[in-house]
Structure 1
Amino acid sequence: MCLKIVLIPILLILTIAMASDPDPLQDFCIPNPKSFPNQLCKNSTAVTADDFVFSGAKSAGPFSETGFATVAANPINFPGLNTLGMSLVRVDLKEGAINPPHVHPRAAEMVYVVQGKVYAGFVDSGNRVYAKVIEEGEVMVIPRGVVHFQMNVGKRRATVFGCFNSQNPGTQKMAAAIFGSGIKEELLEKAFGLSSKEIRRMKRMFDS
Structure 2
Amino acid sequence: MALNSMSAFIFVLLALSAPLAVVAGDPDILTDFVVPPVVLGNITGEYFTFRGFRAALSKTAPEPQNFTVTKASMAEFPVLNGQSVSYAALSYPPGSVNPTHTHPRASELLLVVDGALSVGFVDTANKLYTQDLATGDMFVFPKGTVHWQFNQGTQPARALSAFGSAAAGLVNVPVTVFGTGIDDAVLAKSFKTDVATVQKLKAVLTPSPQKA
Q: Same fold (TM over 0.5)?
A: yes
Shift of 1:51: 1.1
Q: Is the 8 A contact 2:117 2:149 kept in 1?
A: yes
Provide the C-alpha distance between the structure 1 equivalents of 2:88 and 2:37, rounded to a whole number of angstroms: 24
Provide the C-alpha distance between the structure 2 equivalents of 1:192 and 1:163, rounded to a whole number of angstroms: 33
Q: Does 1:20 align with 2:9?
A: no
Partner of 1:192: 191
Matches within 5 A, 1:1-208: 20-33=25-38, 46-60=42-56, 67-208=66-207
> Residues 201, 64 of structure 1: CA spacing in aligned structure 2 closer, same or farther, 3 A cutoff?
farther
SS of the counterpart of 2:56? Answer: coil
Shift of 1:136: 0.9
> Residues 64, 188 of structure 1: CA spacing in aligned structure 2 closer, same or farther, 3 A cutoff?
farther
Query: Unpaired runs of 5+ in structure 1?
Result: 1-18, 34-41
Range with bigger deviation, 190-199 or 127-136: 190-199
TM-score normalised per structure 2: 0.79
Shift of 1:23: 1.9
Larger radius of gyration: 2
Identity %: 33
Q: Is the 8 A contact 1:63 1:69 kept in 2?
A: no
SS of the counterpart of 1:56? Answer: coil
Which structure 1 residue ranges, 4+ long, deviate > 3 Å from structure 2? 61-65
Q: Is the 8 A contact 1:105 1:170 kept in 2?
A: yes
Range with bigger deviation, 141-150 or 151-160: 151-160
The Cα RMSD (Å) is: 2.0
Q: Which amino acid aligns with 1:127?
A: N
TM-score normalised per structure 1: 0.80
Query: Unpaired runs of 5+ in structure 2?
Result: 1-23, 208-212
